[in-house]
Amino acid sequence: MPTAHPPTSNAPNATSSDYALANEDRLGFWADQAGRLDWSEPFTEVLDWSTPPFARWFVGGRLNAAYNCVDRHVEAGQGDRVALHFVGEPAGDTRDITYAQLQAEVSRAANALTALGIEAGDRVAIYMPMIPEAVVAMLACARLGAPHTVVFGGFSADALAGRIKDCQAKLVITADGGYRRGDPSPLKPAVDTAVTSCPTVSHVLVVRRTGEPVEWTPGRDVWWHDVVAAASPHHSPEMFDSEHPLFVMYTSGTTGSPKGVLHTTGGYLVQSAYSFWAVFDHRPDDVYWCTADIGWITGHTYLVYGPLANGATQVLYEGTPDTPHKGRWWEIAAELGVTTFYTAPTAIRTCMKWGDEFPAAHDLSRVRILGSVGESINPQAYEWYREHIGGGRAPVVDTWWQTETGAHMITPLPGVRSGKPGSAMTPLPGISIDIVDDDGNSVPPGQGGYLVATEPWPAMIRTIWGDDERFVETYWSRWPGYYFAGDGARRDNDGDIWLLGRVDDVMNVSGHRLSTTEIESALVSHPSVAEAAVVGASDEVTGTAVVAFVILRDSASPSDDIVEALRTHVGQQIGPIAKPRRISIVSELPKTRSGKIMRRLLRDLAEHRTTGDASTLADSDVMAQIAADLTPSDSPT
């Protein structure tokens, strides 16, 4: 086992007594944390768990999420504090936005949205680059009680349309495009395509970012600079019930269609605010930087709601880490005096591969806390991160959580608990986690099992949008009363938790969730494909690489062109991140007698291993046949 790193942080925010307090009185602990927010109406009950798994947290309380993230800091005299240090990709394109300016912008946007007919409860889709207007758009929706659904800008028009339709969004907020790797990258065309099949959308609100020409549908399309700039900078926020829907975030599950994970206002904001404060040991003079896109849950909780609820100053960067050079992140971090940096292991491994000289060329001496999220961080990347970005001083917090958990669940607390490279350590105070066997019994240390939450927590998923049954079935049916996360894990002899990866058909590519079934559906929707099986093969940089095995229809014949066409097709159906790294054309797929594809055997092939136990195959010769079908470049070496 790698050596543990001692806790580092003087007089940390959280203390070991938080654990003791929460153990003694979990709900009392969360009631105390709710005091971090301003409520217009106090709650009368911390948790209503009378109809599990449908939880109600901070029952009867009323609040406004945007008011808590913006206005109250201005009212407390912090209006001149920088909320966002925006760094655009083009050189010199920077903007500092104070809390007072953010308040004016969010108010203007809220007034403009109201003028476009948006009311509390209406859904708004957001499809934007990483620019301040994206944060403003989210907060304007929150201010009006109109749940937003942010769709990652890398998703295709089809994927966007699917999400708009599922939540019946009335408005789409987008931009003409953003900058990516030195060039303008359009977004509006995908929205134009998507909304042709979405009758619920009455308007498309467009931020001018790149100035590239766009198609325009008069009456439907509206420029942000026309309606937002003209709107009043004053807006009185309405207060909403603690359980009022805040947002829907789509994520991949084990079936073909993504699930709309619903988060509500009070509980989500309490756990986001507490965990940001405790896990990043946040101090008023910190400069925080989370590299996640707002299209993922990390961008929601740890770029928008958690940091802003704490009145933090943060960096918002539009571009990629290597544009225009591989030291860009570290250059920005040095310039802005970043103290707290939060990213994914795949990015750390990429930077590690580029070389130590890039971070070494910049002054990173203010860095004091490093965070990791999305997958287990391998010890080598952990040590590199700590040494080369953290100067050997900064603790690494490996944070385990999910779209569904809404906020951090398992992580060390800097200054309180030490970190072991590769382990997410222990549950946060107030969070109850166990690792169980097939029968739901706790497993002893050293033994692998399934990760479950044994008690409800404030930021928990409330349901799957429009599908309570799927919510119950997916997360709560395996062991009654326990939330099943879909991850395998084990505890070591110190009681620290090591995540072992997904135990279902969900893959984790560069820290992003993709479903094997979703990619298989995309492949079989191509006219040349008869059948497809997708597996995740381990990959040094991205954690997992998507590998597909495809049976063509008789009308199509194997060629490099068809492989490329299929990759492009998946890109169009879902988005470039879902494109298989490799597609092998085969004549058979390994199936059980009941017709279930044995992906395990295909994974063995994809990872160049001798295939494991194939005794349950309907046709025992099939693996030999597949091996014979593989071209020399993808056959086992």
CB of 194 to ligand PRX, least distance (A): 22
CB of 344 to ligand PRX, least distance (A): 8
| 153: region left, alpha or beta (phi > 0 left; psi from -120 to 50 alpha) | alpha
Query: Could you tell me how many residues of this chain bind ligand PRX (CB under 6 A)?
Result: 21
Site for ligand PRX in 122-181 (CB under 6 A): none
Binding region for ligand PRX (CB under 6 A) out of 379-387, 436-444, 479-487, 614-622: 479-487
CB of 292 to ligand PRX, least distance (A): 8
CA distance 188 to 213: 10
User: Does 258 interact with ligand PRX (rule: CB under 6 A)?
Assistant: no
User: Does 343 interact with ligand PRX (rule: CB under 6 A)?
Assistant: no
Contact 385, 409 (CB under 8 A): no
Burial class (CB in 10 A: 0-12, 13-18, 19+), 499: buried
Strand (E) or helix (H) holding 603: helix 599-606
User: Does 275 interact with ligand PRX (rule: CB under 6 A)?
Assistant: no
The three-point CA angle 207-209-211 to 5° equals 110
Contact 374, 298 (CB under 8 A): yes
User: Does 401 interact with ligand PRX (rule: CB under 6 A)?
Assistant: yes
Q: Which is nearer to ligand PRX, 177 or 253 (CB)?
A: 253
User: Does 518 interact with ligand PRX (rule: CB under 6 A)?
Assistant: no
CB of 401 to ligand PRX, least distance (A): 5
Q: Which of 399, 528, 542, 611 binds ligand PRX (CB under 6 A)?
A: 399
Binding region for ligand PRX (CB under 6 A) out of 192-200, 334-342, 400-408, 629-637: 400-408
User: Does 398 interact with ligand PRX (rule: CB under 6 A)?
Assistant: yes
User: Does 435 interact with ligand PRX (rule: CB under 6 A)?
Assistant: no
User: Does 272 interact with ligand PRX (rule: CB under 6 A)?
Assistant: no
Q: Which is nearer to ligand PRX, 38 or 504 (CB)?
A: 504
Site for ligand PRX in 284-313 (CB under 6 A): 297-298
Q: Which is nearer to ligand PRX, 33 or 508 (CB)?
A: 508
CA distance 189 to 72: 38
Binding region for ligand PRX (CB under 6 A) out of 90-98, 482-490, 547-555, 581-589: 482-490
Strand (E) or helix (H) holding 357: helix 357-360
CB of 487 to ligand PRX, least distance (A): 5
CA distance 522 to 580: 11
CA distance 437 to 354: 41
Give the closest residue to 589 by CA, choosing from 531, 634, 529, 525: 531
Which residues make Cβ contacts (< 8 Å) with residue 67, sequence separation at least 6? Answer: 38, 143, 237, 239
The percent of the chain in helix, strand and coil, each rounded to the nearest 5, is 30, 25, 45
Site map 354..393 versus ligand PRX, x via CB under 6 A: -------------------xxxx-----------------
DSSP string, 550-581: EEEPTT----HHHHHHHHHHHHHHT-GGGS-S
DSSP state of 181: T
157-167 vs 560-573: helix crossing angle, rounded to 10 = 30
User: Does 423 interact with ligand PRX (rule: CB under 6 A)?
Assistant: no
DSSP state of 472: I
For residue 568, report the phi and psi dihedrals to the nearest 5 degrees: -60, -40
User: Does 486 interact with ligand PRX (rule: CB under 6 A)?
Assistant: yes
CB of 294 to ligand PRX, least distance (A): 13
Q: Which of 101, 402, 423, 426 binds ligand PRX (CB under 6 A)?
A: 402
User: Does 251 interact with ligand PRX (rule: CB under 6 A)?
Assistant: yes
Alpha helices in 430-546 (DSSP H): 468-471, 516-524
- Which residue has the closest beta carbon to ligand PRX? 403
Binding region for ligand PRX (CB under 6 A) out of 77-85, 397-405, 546-554, 561-569: 397-405
User: Does 499 interact with ligand PRX (rule: CB under 6 A)?
Assistant: yes
DSSP string, 366-409: T--EEEEESSPPPHHHHHHIIIIITTTTSPEEEEB--TTT-S--
CB of 502 to ligand PRX, least distance (A): 5
Q: Which of 135, 485, 529, 578 binds ligand PRX (CB under 6 A)?
A: 485
Binding region for ligand PRX (CB under 6 A) out of 123-131, 202-210, 329-337, 398-406: 398-406
Radius of gyration of the chain (CA): 24
Q: What are the start-end ranges of the E strands in 273-367?
A: 287-290, 313-317, 340-343
User: Does 424 interact with ligand PRX (rule: CB under 6 A)?
Assistant: yes
Burial class (CB in 10 A: 0-12, 13-18, 19+), 349: buried
Q: Which of 403, 426, 474, 573 binds ligand PRX (CB under 6 A)?
A: 403
User: Does 55 interact with ligand PRX (rule: CB under 6 A)?
Assistant: no
CB of 174 to ligand PRX, least distance (A): 23
Q: Which of 513, 569, 591, 599 binds ligand PRX (CB under 6 A)?
A: 513
User: Does 268 interact with ligand PRX (rule: CB under 6 A)?
Assistant: no
3-state secondary structure 74-138: HHHHHCCCEEEEEECCCCCCEEEEEHHHHHHHHHHHHHHHHHCCCCCCCCEEEECCCCHHHHHHH
CB of 280 to ligand PRX, least distance (A): 15
User: Does 508 interact with ligand PRX (rule: CB under 6 A)?
Assistant: yes
Q: Which is nearer to ligand PRX, 82 or 409 (CB)?
A: 409
Binding site for ligand PRX (CB under 6 A): 251, 297-298, 373-376, 398-403, 424, 485-487, 499, 502, 508, 513
